[in-house]
Chains A and B, each alone.
Chain A
């Protein structure tokens, strides 16, 4: 196994990892604020990918315009979802799961019926590769990593430095105390949902651009997102990043040493072990 292959695998793993992190961040954000696991999050990711696809293919936008535009449009969908599907059941475990799971079915069927079952390609982000000391690094993957890092940093700043961010922290710790302090829980929840959906849409657009877009891509996204969160801990941004990197690297490297199936199994094994030792995940609180 040459160094080149090794480095490329790491790159692939990291790119995938950062995409998973974006998905997981949306999930963990929504969970922290609204206390629900948005199982349909993968379908939001898929919608983001299709949105970019249509913006690029039918309206001729460049990827860099389509990306934020699709994030915006999908964010709007998020507002509708939060208002009409999740808010009525806030705090109630079972109805929230039922609704989320129902939405998963609904959105996936809409995609199958509306877009057809074939995979679509929207052309890469930036063609070509970067050659560094004999190793070929594809630009697409580097950009995915960069976008991921920027967004995580932005999210971090949002939470630490803005009033809205602080409000979100307050709600995630104690929703009653937060509302007593005058925080508009509904507005912040909607905001959290929008941010979460936007992140998912961006992740989907990246994945759809680097690889491909299909109505079923959401399923693997939610699976990976959940894996990252369980590993890293629900409600923790650091956990999402660390968990995503670990799983991304496993997905990148294990296929080299063993096989790609084993990557999934090793990932599952790691999660089970962490769960036994730390039922809350690596960085989870509560």
Chain B
């Protein structure tokens, strides 16, 4: 079995990426593309939330940071006339800066307090958006946000954002960059350090790891990517209301992450993928969708706490037990 996986693994990722790039050539169905775009948005959200969770911190403010990126980008374009391509990274940076401002007091408290603080922070962000009517038009929301500026390559090829296709490619590229960055961190010594902090931050501290700094970095990085995807979202959906960024949305992201499984890197991706697509198959249940979600969440929490990503491991140990005692093991 090892030989097979060793061969399949390095080949499968480029193939998968290639397939993702080729999809719009085979279908121009706007609805399907929209679903895929939303899936990829959720994948970025779940993965960036996981980045924060690798140090053991549970953030309930992720939707709030998405909102910061979204409104920042939209307002920079609409009020200051900046190009989307400048506003997008600035949206991410705005989120990261806010995260940094509250970062040090936040990470120094116990995990319980951190979770509570992020809930509160998310509420404050939403409150500010709702009340700063001059800027954000409050609960009426920002309307008619312009699409990304057209891109012109060498005077020959022109990309205009007038259909779902260019948005699809943009979010695909953003997702791949995000995942690559987060994956590299996760599988490097930085990731090991974060894992150590999660397991026991006293021990980590005692061998020279600056636990506070790492927690703040993980927090800011996670919030940065939430901001980036928020900025994309703003110019994709073209309408922003504070209600889209409340604690309920933050809970959804947590559900994606937990159902998929927090330990493995691909767990968050898996969770976001399945839970974004699932409602599409059961569209009749749209109103009852939260029930289904909570049901799945509870089943996972009770019976499969490691999330769906734990299934292969569970399956393997089941197979091993069925096979009986063996001479060698990996």
Contact = CB atoms under 8 A, between A and B. Distances in A.
A279 B301 contact: no
Interface residues of A, number: 41
A212 B316 CA distance: 55
B120 A223 contact: yes
A265 B120 contact: no
Interface string A77-109: 000000001001100011101110111111011
B58 A97 contact: yes
A15 interface: no
A219 B290 contact: no
B119 A275 contact: no
Contact of B301 (A102, A234, A265): A102
A209 B117 CA distance: 29
B126 to A, nearest CB: 9
A101 B102 contact: no
Give the secondary structure class of A's interface: helix
A105 B318 CA distance: 34
Interface stretch (A54-62, A185-193, A256-264): A256-264
B21 to A, nearest CB: 35
B258 A222 contact: no
Interface in A177-213: none
A229 to B, nearest CB: 7
Contacts of B111: 93
Interface residues of B, number: 40
Contacts of A93: 111-112
Contacts of A219: 123, 246-247
A185 to B, nearest CB: 19
Given A219-B247, A261-B127, A264-B127, A226 B116 contact: yes
A94 B59 CA distance: 12
Contacts of B175: none
A39 B60 CA distance: 11
A106 B291 contact: yes
Nearest to B250: A101
Interface of B: 58, 60, 102, 105, 108-109, 111-113, 115-117, 119-121, 123-124, 127-128, 131-132, 246-248, 251-252, 254-255, 258, 287-288, 290-291, 293-294, 297-298, 301-302, 305
Interface of A: 31, 37, 39, 85, 88-89, 93-95, 97-99, 101-106, 108-109, 113, 219-220, 222-223, 226-227, 229-230, 234, 259-261, 264-265, 268, 271-272, 275-276, 279
30 contacts: A39-B60, A88-B302, A89-B301, A93-B111, A95-B305, A98-B297, A101-B251, A102-B251, A103-B294, A105-B294, A108-B290, A109-B288, A109-B290, A109-B291, A113-B288, A219-B246, A223-B123, A226-B119, A229-B116, A230-B113, A234-B112, A234-B113, A264-B128, A264-B131, A268-B124, A271-B120, A272-B102, A272-B105, A275-B109, A279-B108
